[in-house]
Amino acid sequence: MLAGKRVLLIIGGGIAAYKALDLIRRLRERGAAVTPVLTRAGAEFVTPLSVSALAGMKVFHDLFDLTDEAEMGHIELSRSADLIVVAPATADLMAKMAGGQADDLASTLLLATDTEVLLAPAMNVRMWEHAATQRNTATLKDDGIGFVGPNAGDMACGEHGPGRMSEPLEIVAAVEARLAQGPLAGRRVIVTSGPTHEPIDPVRYIANRSSGAQGTAIARALAGAGAEVVFVTGPADVPPPDGVEVVAVETAQEMLEAVEAALPADAAVFAAAVADWRVASAGARKIKKEGGKLPVLEFAENPDILATISRMEAGRPPLVVGFAAETDDVVDHATAKRARKGCDWIVANDVSPATGIMGGAENAVTLITADGAEAWPRMSKADVAQRLVARIAEALG
Ligand code: C5P
C-alpha cells in the first residue's frame, strides 16, 4: 500500500507513454497521490486531458507557465513528492539528466530535486545499447538514481531486445519497494535461486531439478518487508517476484560474478541449487554423434558461492544464510555444512522423495544457527519465507 505517499510522475516522449496512464491508475488504486508532469514530446503520445483525468489533478507541462509558478514554483514541485518516477525515461531525458541540463520543466525538476528518483527507461534496443546511453546509465546509477527495467522483448519498432519499458505493475512494485515501510526498509539483501545450467556444448547442458520456488518466495517476502532485493536467478520454472532487481544467469560461475557485483549487502540468502561441477571441455561446437563413439566429458569443480562469500575477509555481508538439501541425517549433515561453509545460518530440508518437497508447495525445514537446531513445522514455502524473513529482520536489528 502507498496510502498518503506522493509520487511526481514525469511522462517522457515515447510510445510507452500509454503505459504511464495505467501506471497512474495503479498508483492511485494503492492510495498514492500522483502529480503528473508531461514533457512536450510526451504530449505527442498521450493527451494532457487523459493524464489529468486519471491523476485527478492538473498536468504540469511548461516551465514558464506563470500561473503555475504563482501556485507552486518548480523548485517546490520538485521537492514536494516522496518519489519522482520518470516513465517512460527516454534516451534524451537520461542524457539531459546525466549532463545536468535543465532546459524544460522535466529536466529542471530533475536537477532541482532532493527527492529520490526512479527511472523506467524505454527506447529502441540500439539506443539502449549505445555506448552513450550505457555511459549515461552508469553515471546516473553512480548519482544514486534508481532504475526499473528496461525489459527485453518485442518492441513497437519491430526490433527485439532490451529497451521495453517495465510493465506498470513492475514499476508499482519498484515504487513500493522504495516507499513501503517495513522492518527491512533501507536494507539490501542478495538472494540466489533456481538451478544453474552448465553447458556441455552449445545445445546441451547439465542441470538439476530445482524449481526456484523457495528462493522466489524468500525474495518476495524480503521485498514485502521493505528490503532492496537483488535476485540472482538461474533458469527457474517459476517467474521472479515483482519489486526486486532480477539478474538472470545460467552457470555457477556467472552466478558468483553476479553475487560479487551485487555486493555490498546487509544479508545474503543462497537458496540456489548450484551445480557442483561444470564440463571443463565444453566447446563452441556441437558434439557430433559419430558411429558408436561415446563422448568423454571431463569435469571441473564449480566455485562454491556460499563458501566464497562466507569467507570473504572484507565486505562480507553481516548475515549469510545457506541451504542444505539432505536425504538423511538432516540435522547432523546441515550442522557440519554450516561449519564447513562458514555461513551464519543453514536452512536444512529433507528432500527425500517421500516428502514431496522438491518442486512442491510445502517445505519442512530446520534452522541451524550458532545456538543449535530449531525444527519448524511443515508449512507452505511462502510461510517458510515469511518466517525466515522475520528472523532476518530480527537479526539485522
Ligand atoms: O554443498 P551443498 O550444495 O549441499 O550446499 C548447499 C548450499 O550451498 C546452498 O545454500 C547453495 O546455494 C550453496 N552452494 C553454493 N555454490 C555451490 C554449491 C552450493 O552457493 N557451488
Confidence of residue 219 (pLDDT cuts 50, 70, 90): very high
Tell me the C-alpha to C-alpha distance, in Å, between residue 260 and each of 144, 188, 342: 19, 14, 17
Ligand 1 centroid distance, CA of 230 (Å): 18
Q: What's the pLDDT at 66?
A: 57
CA neighbor of 153 nearest in space, from 125, 130, 180, 134? 125
Residue with the smallest CA separation from ligand 1 atom 7 is: 323
Give residue 231's pLDDT band: very low, low, confident or very high (50, 70, 90).
Answer: very high
| pTM for this prediction | 0.64
Q: Is 343 a catalytic residue?
A: no
Instruction: Give the residue with greater pLDDT, 75 vs 125.
Output: 125
Residue 68's pLDDT is 67
Catalytic member of 132, 138, 157, 261: 157
Percent of residues, the chain, with pLDDT higher than 90: 70
Which residue ranges form the domains of the chain, and what is each CATH number? 6-178 (3.40.50.1950), 188-396 (3.40.50.10300)
> What does the pLDDT average to over 51-69?
82
Res. 228: pLDDT tops 90: no
Q: What is the pLDDT of residue 60?
A: 92
CA 224 to centroid of ligand 1, rounded, Å:
25
Q: Quote the pLDDT of residue 11.
A: 98
Does position 397 have pLDDT exceeding 70, yes or no? Answer: yes
Whole-number Å distance between alpha carbons of 106 and 96: 10
pLDDT tens track for 124-164: 999 999 999 999 999 999 999 999 999 988 877 778 888 99
CA-closest residue to ligand 1 atom 5: 324
C-alpha–C-alpha distance, residues 111 and 96, integer Å:
9
**The ligand 1 atom nearest the CA atom of 323:** 10
Per-residue confidence band for 289, with pLDDT thresholds at 50, 70 and 90: confident
pLDDT band at 218 (very low <50, low <70, confident <90, very high): very high
Label residue 107 exposed, middle or buried (CB < 10 Å: 0-12, 13-18, 19+). buried
Cell of 309: 562469500
